[in-house]
Every structure is written in structure tokens, then in C-alpha cells.
Amino acid sequence: DIQMTQSPSTLSASVGDRVTITCRASQSISSWLAWYQQKPGKAPKLLIYKASSLESGVPSRFSGSGSGTEFTLTISSLQPDDFATYYCQQYNSQFSFGQGTKLEIK
Amino acid sequence: QITLKESGPTLVKPTQTLTLTCTFSGFSLSTSGVGVGWIRQPPGKALEWLALIYWNDDKRYSPSLKSRLTITKDTSKNQVVLTMTNMDPVDTATYYCSHIPNSYVYYDYWGQGTLVTVSS
């Protein structure tokens, strides 16, 4: 099984900050990685697929990069609506998720 | 517009079998590349992929839960059904169904989720 490890588990930041979340795969997954945003009591929302493709309707301040085993999600300028938990998910083999990164207001 | 909605019991007893139904609209499960997946999330914990079914009836299961899961589809009713046997309190979670837009398994539309509690 491919294990997905996100870091950090919790991130404190302020509105306007640039933040980066990292996701590492236990083996190469090429670019088969998606990122989701989840708010309390809500279903996850797709942000990025194929490592760097922005889902339709998602603000351009979100971007993804990486390939192989290391990936990043970057929010260029945090907005109040961005405070949430973020998950990566690989779809190279089976379809495992990372453990999540909670983005908190500093 | 694609929508999905999960339905089923909110409370099941240990050892019982859980049956969840995902009823969807806005797409057809007979369209090439399309699929529906099930994901769960225990309270306060991470997402866990369970199973998925493709338009061609190809099915995939989480290796750790494969012996307990069955996924089926009824294309005429626009429904996908997930059964999980031998339920345990650790299976308490919100269960989501979701749309897979092509043969690459990421999820672009999600149901609202249904909380299933396993308790005697």
C-alpha cells in the first residue's frame, strides 16, 4: 500500500500569508495526486488534480506542484475562507489519503 | 448539475451488516470513464477510501476492508449500494459517496455524507 504523509499536521497563519503544505508518498505516484479542502461538518472540496491542475471554479491563489514522491499545495495569499483542513490523495495505486493538515488562524 | 446523496441507517449494532445507498443525478454510470466511490471519515479523523465502481462494473476495494465490502450499481435507478459486514464501533464514521469524472480516481463531486454510529 502507498502511504501518504502530510506536513505539518497543523499550521497557524494570518490572512495574507503565503502557506505551503507538503505531501509525501511512500513510493512514486507520478503526478497522480489530488488536493481537497474540508470545512467542519462539510464534504471535502476538490482543489487540485493531477498534482497541478486547478479544478474549475477554484481561486487561482491555490496551486499545486510536484511529481514522484513529493508534492506541495501553496496558497499564495490566505483569505479568511481558506482556514480549513487540507488532504492530499493519491490515485496511482489504490486511492489513499493523507492524514490532513489543519490550517488555523494565528 | 451533479448531485449525490447517501442514505441508510444512522445506527447499527455490532456484528450487523450496513447497507448504504448513493442516489445520484446529473450523470450516468453507463458513460465511459465515470465511476462512484465511497469514502468514510471517523469523527475528528482523516478520510479513508473504501470502494469504487466504474461504468463497466469494474470494482475496487480497500485492501484492509475488502473481505467486508461489496459495491454494486443499478444504472437504471442511478444508484450505487455499499454493504459492509460485521460492523464494529470503530466503523463509526461519516460515509460519503462521490463522483469520479474519468478513469483517474479523484473525486470532483461529493454527497453531504451520512453519519453511521455502531453501538449496542
Alpha-helical segments (H) within A1-106: none
Mean pLDDT across chain A:
96
For B52, nearest residue in chain A (alpha carbons): A95
Instruction: For chain B, say whether A2 makes contact (Cβ under 8 Å).
Output: no
Instruction: Indicate if the alpha-carbon torsion angle B85, B88, B90, B92 is positive or negative.
Output: positive
Cβ–Cβ < 8 Å for B34, B27: yes
Residue with cell 454527497: B111
- In 3D, which of A45, A89, A48 has the Cα closest to residue A65? A48
> pLDDT tens per residue, chain B (120 residues)?
999 999 999 999 999 999 999 999 999 999 999 999 999 999 999 999 999 999 999 999 999 999 999 999 999 999 999 999 999 999 999 999 999 998 788 999 999 999 999 999
pLDDT digits (tens, 9 = 90+) for A76-104: 999 999 999 999 999 998 899 999 999 99
Please judge whether B105 and A45 are an interchain contact, meaning their C-beta atoms are less than 8 angstroms apart. Answer: no
- B112–A43: do the CB atoms touch at under 8 Å? yes
What is the SS3 assignment for A13? strand
Nearest-neighbour CA in chain B from A76: distance (Å): 23
Chain A residues within 8 A of B108 when measuring between CB atoms: 46, 49, 55
* Segments in chain A below pLDDT 70: none
Looking at residue A93, what is its pLDDT?
83
Q: Is B44 touching A (CB cutoff 8 A)? A: no
